[in-house]
Amino acid sequence: MIEQLKSELAERAQAGLKRKRRLLQSPQAAHLVADDQHLLSFASNDYLGLANHPDLILAFQQAAQLAGVGGGASHLITGHHQFHHEAEQALAGFVGSPSGLLFSTGYMANMGVVAALLGRNDAIFADKLNHASLNDAAVLSRAELNRYAHQDLSQLEQMLAASNAPRKLVIVDAVFSMDGDIAPVPELLALCEKYDAYFLLDDAHGFGVLGRQGRGILSHFNVISPRIIYMATLGKAAGVAGAFVAGDETIIEYLIQSANTYIYTTASPPALAAALVTAVNVMKKDEARHQHLRDLIAYFKENLSLKKWQLMPSDTAIQPIVVGSNEATLGLSNYLLALGVLVPAIRPPTVPKNTARLRISLSAAHTLDDVKLLIQHLHEAEQVLAT
């Protein structure tokens, strides 16, 4: 087996698909140190710049003094700390849901929710560009998986209308992580209501960014429904770690009793939960942070003018530039890296073949000058590399 794995790794490297971890040697920030190089980073999902926020650091330190470092046990034994309880209440209230439940990661949240709520005789309806965690969750549940073309609501309706499954669940990224576009949530919810389906929204890249005070996709569209099962990760805009699911009280209680990825794992450190409560409070009071991010997004879109590469249509902090081939995309990423600017090259299978791209992540931690410098280097790079 080892020889086969070596061969597969060599093939991956030959195709320009082998990934390498960078060694971060500083706090997560717009300006960081990685592999001994000082870099201006557009590679992180720290959309609000909270990962190194002094209030969150202080909350974590004080909570660790009170609660220790480790969770020590699963939530259903002795691992469910008061700090976890307070974070669940704060997060659910922030997004306007009656109840919430913390998970250790977003991947575990999606796996736990889908596998707990659906089984062999049920049906899942999924956008083809959904995150890998939603795809894996669908397979784990053993429900019938129906995948519709990206944002194709007509095809989704045909699938829903043809289904006789006792339980139907539409699962969708709220903001698609590699394209930056936003799911048409009101229209999707209307289809769920029409065909008696429930609706799992993965708001990993919308929570903290979209809506009033960063309350997420539900606030962005001003929608509320007991059919919505809302999931958001907490290591991106919230700046900490983990994920939470929010929704109807009965669904949350059922997940506590039935979601394996919740039941059979040690609770996350209580100090993380305390930091999350502080993150919510910062998002509520520091609206200038959200406005600054919106201003940077607008400036970037208005002032970047590319002729051979394609800036995808996105109103979010994710601004992808499609280059095409793996080699050309890696070349562009390396060109920027040599100038001290870190923008990751995203290649298949993360994105479809021949759509390799730079994934630019803007953050409230960036200054306008940071974004101006990025634009300048991209314009220069197109002149040098795309001729």
Contact at 8 Å (CB) between 41 and 360? Answer: no
User: According to the model, what pLDDT value does residue 15 have?
Assistant: 86
Q: Which two tokens stand for residue 87?
A: 């974070």
Q: 350: annotated binding-site residue? A: yes
Residue pair 64/57 in contact (Cβ under 8 Å)? The answer is no
Strands (E), 17-78: 31-34, 37-41
Output 154-163 pairs: Cβ under 8 A, ≥24 positions apart: 156/125, 156/188, 156/191, 157/191, 157/194, 157/195, 159/125, 160/125, 160/191, 160/194, 160/195, 160/197, 161/195, 163/123, 163/125, 163/195
Contact assessment for residue 312 and residue 150, using Cβ atoms and an 8 Å cutoff: no
CATH number, domain 19-48+287-385: 3.90.1150.10
Verify whether residue 372 is a known catalytic residue: no
Phi and psi (nearest 5°) for 75? -60, -35
Question: Which residue of the set 53, 81, 205, 292 is catalytic?
Answer: 205
**What is the identity of the amino acid at 162?**
A
**Residue 177 catalytic?**
yes
| Omega before 226 within 30 of 0, i.e. cis | no
Judged against a pLDDT cut of 80, whether residue 304 lies above it is answered with yes
**177 in a known ligand binding site:** yes
**289 band by pLDDT with thresholds 50, 70 and 90:** very high
DSSP secondary structure string, 131-170?
A: -HHHHHHHHHHTPEEEEE-TT-HHHHHHHHHH---SSEEE
Indicate if 150 belongs to the active site: no
Residue 309 main-chain phi, psi, to 5 deg: -105, 155
**Residues 175-219: tens digit of each pLDDT:** 999 999 999 999 999 999 999 999 999 999 999 999 999 999 999
pTM (two decimals): 0.94
Annotate 161-219 with three-state secondary structure.
HHCCCCCEEEEEECECCCCCCECCHHHHHHHHHHCCCEEEEECCCCCCCCCHHHCCHHH
Domain edges within the chain: 19-48+287-385, 54-285
Distance CA 95, CA 246 (A): 8
| Per annotation, catalytic residue among 41, 44, 177, 363 | 177
Query: What are the two backbone dihedrals, phi and then psi, of residue 69, each rounded to the nearest 5 degrees?
Result: -95, -55
Please give the pLDDT value at position 387.
65
Over range 234-241, report the average pLDDT: 98
Instruction: Take residue 165 and report the two structure tokens written for it.
Output: 């499954």
Query: For residues 139 and 132, is the Cβ–Cβ distance under 8 A?
Result: no
Q: Confirm or deny that 85 is annotated as ligand binding.
A: no
pLDDT at 356 over 90: yes
- pLDDT at residue 98 tops 90: yes
Helix (H) or strand (E) holding 93: helix 82-95
Please, what's the largest Cα pairwise distance for the chain? 63
Q: Which fold has domain 54-285?
A: Aspartate Aminotransferase; domain 2 (3.40.640)
- Mean per-residue pLDDT, 36-48: 97
205 is in an annotated binding site: yes
Residue from 176, 120, 88, 125 nearest 355 by CA: 176
Catalytic residue among 53, 80, 168, 236: 236
pLDDT of the residue at 19? 86
